[in-house]
Amino acid sequence: MSKTLLILPGDGIGPEIVAEAVKVIEWLNEHADLGLELEHDLIGGQAYDEYGAPLADGTLEKCRRADAILMGSVGGPQWDGVDYDKRPEAGLLRLRKELDLFANLRPALVFDALVDASSLKPEIVKGLDILIVRELTGGVYFGEPRGIEDLGNGERRGFNTQTYTTSEIRRIGRVAFDLARKRNQRVTSCEKANVMESGKLWREEITELHRAEFHDVELEHMYADNAAMQLCRNPHQFDVIVTDNLFGDILSDEAAMLTGSLGMLPSASLGAEGTPGLYEPAHGSAPDIAGQNIANPLATILSLSMAIRYSFERGDLADALDAAVQDTLNQGTRTGDIMADGCTQVSTSEMGDALLKNLSQSKALAA
């Protein structure tokens, strides 16, 4: 039975970069039996203009019915004056909430050809391949009580609550251990068990889950502040990092910067079994370069690769696609954001074409 991928291009550069991913899907459908049926709809500012809401109910229904969703990006200055709950970003937040996408996967991959783009020394980041698994729907960003109160003495008090339950910790831990089994069998769990009760519970629950179900995977616990330091000092020590919403927000941005290029960073948000995964580049809608055919489509194409791997279970095709990205970069083909001396600068669509050419010559697919 064929599977459905819902395409939500969004705003700004979204339609341009997603169009290149669609070219790849069509090629894989035709030549590698990917068997994906595509549906299309609007999200973000485009959806607000067309439907009066950044995520229309009908679109949400289509999302629920799809096997996975590939999104471009949302937002832009033309919607700055719109009410907060109708802003493009509100559409994306609603989608994550309605589908309960509690696990955010952010790989930090350093391609050999781009090793000089990192702000760290090449010998520290060369060959880097880390996966950060961030809890996305709980913790201090959502915990109650929260607010700002007037203390009546000229002082105000701002407060938020960090809270996690056993099941919230175990379900994100399970995602991380499962992924580590498909990678290098190592999980580093990060919290602040030394100063926070929620961190102490996090450590106990992850330890128990590991003992009961995942003792074949290596587990290490690390305080989140130390993890931030170790990511810069010796990032190769990590394979999968699992952490809460707040620490994950910070550690995933830090790890992303080890790679040096925003246009290369994919992401996935996953929910419970049977829920469609949401795949999108980590960057925004880049209104400053929208409509010029100069944006880098590779983060979106790598997000598609994650969809093919995690939602459609075709690791063979995802490997071939990742290798084609690697080959394209090795040949010196670059969009403006990753341009370097001696390389050839290409447009968004030329980057897609170069990648397809490498994919069509893939030894892995021919085998």
- Contact set with ligand NAD (CB under 6 A): 13, 17, 73-76, 89, 92, 262-263, 280, 283-289, 295-296, 299, 337
Nearer to ligand NAD, 5 or 21 (CB): 21
Q: Could you say which of 41, 192, 239, 244 is catalytic?
A: 192
Nearer to ligand NAD, 106 or 192 (CB): 106
Q: Could you say which of 49, 253, 316, 353 is catalytic?
A: 253
Shortest distance in whole angstroms from residue 61 CB to ligand NAD? 21
Rounded to whole angstroms, how far apart are CA atoms 301 and 197? 41
Rounded to whole angstroms, how far apart are CA atoms 68 and 128? 27
Nearer to ligand NAD, 296 or 358 (CB): 296
Rounded to whole angstroms, how far apart are CA atoms 258 and 122? 10
Q: Could you say which of 129, 178, 225, 316 is catalytic?
A: 225
Q: Could you say which of 49, 86, 126, 141 is catalytic?
A: 141
Nearer to ligand NAD, 262 or 364 (CB): 262
CB-CB contact of 245 with 237 (8 Å)? no
Nearer to ligand NAD, 180 or 298 (CB): 298
- Is residue 159 packed enough to be buried (19+ CB in 10 Å), middle (13-18) or exposed (0-12)? exposed
Q: Examine the residue annotation and report whether 129 is marked as an active-site residue of this protein.
A: no
Shortest distance in whole angstroms from residue 290 CB to ligand NAD? 9
Q: Examine the residue annotation and report whether 141 is marked as an active-site residue of this protein.
A: yes
Shortest distance in whole angstroms from residue 10 CB to ligand NAD? 6
Q: Examine the residue annotation and report whether 62 is marked as an active-site residue of this protein.
A: no
Q: Examine the residue annotation and report whether 164 is marked as an active-site residue of this protein.
A: no
Shortest distance in whole angstroms from residue 351 CB to ligand NAD? 10
Shortest distance in whole angstroms from residue 237 CB to ligand NAD? 29
Shortest distance in whole angstroms from residue 52 CB to ligand NAD? 19
Q: Could you say which of 67, 249, 337, 353 is catalytic?
A: 249
| Short-list 301, 335, 334, CA closest to 320 | 301
Q: Examine the residue annotation and report whether 178 is marked as an active-site residue of this protein.
A: no
Buried b or exposed e, range 67-81, using 16+ CB within 10 angstroms: bbbbbbbbbbeebee
Nearer to ligand NAD, 217 or 295 (CB): 295
CA angle 250, 268, 95 (to 5 degrees): 95
List active site positions: 141, 192, 225, 249, 253
